Amino acid sequence: MPIVKHIVMWNLRGDTEGEKRDAIARLKSAFEGLHGRIPGLLHLEIGVDSSRVDYACDVVLYSEFESHSALQTYASHPEHQRVKRELGDLRIARYQVDYDAAKSYSS
């Protein structure tokens, strides 16, 4: 069964660099706290944009799951739901892509 990759990118609230930095730190800490708490979650990392281009997102979540079923379990897991509730007011935009790592697509 192929590994499922789940990528989410956010733009976060913050009128100043300090507010934005605090929001990023809060999000990073909350998601990193999910390590080892959700069955089927194989890998999770948070990346903070360093490009500073105007079209970049502030933060990216990169995660891998053992199956689509494991990704669905994650989506509804109480720990993930808690993190979503805690951080819901931080985001101003959210983008998501899920895909099977083993499949290759050509144009």
Domain coordinates of the chain in residue numbers?
1-7+18-65
Residue 102 has pLDDT above 80, yes or no: no
Q: Residue 77 and residue 1: Cα distance in Å, rounded?
A: 22
Mean pLDDT of the chain: 93
Helix/strand/coil (H/E/C) assignment for every residue in the chain = CCCEEEEEEEEECCCCHHHHHHHHHHHHHHHHCCCCCCCCEEEEEEEECCCCCCCCCCEEEEEEECCHHHHHHHHHCHHHHHHHHHHCCCEEEEEEEEEECCCCCCC
- Within a 13 Å sphere around the CA of 5, how many CA atoms are in the beta-carbon half? 11
pLDDT digits (tens, 9 = 90+) for 67-87: 999 999 999 999 999 999 999
Which pLDDT band holds residue 10 (cuts at 50, 70, 90)?
very high
pTM of the predicted protein model: 0.89
pLDDT digits (tens, 9 = 90+) for 18-64: 999 999 999 999 999 999 999 999 999 999 999 989 999 999 999 99
pLDDT of residue 88: 87
pLDDT of residue 2: 83
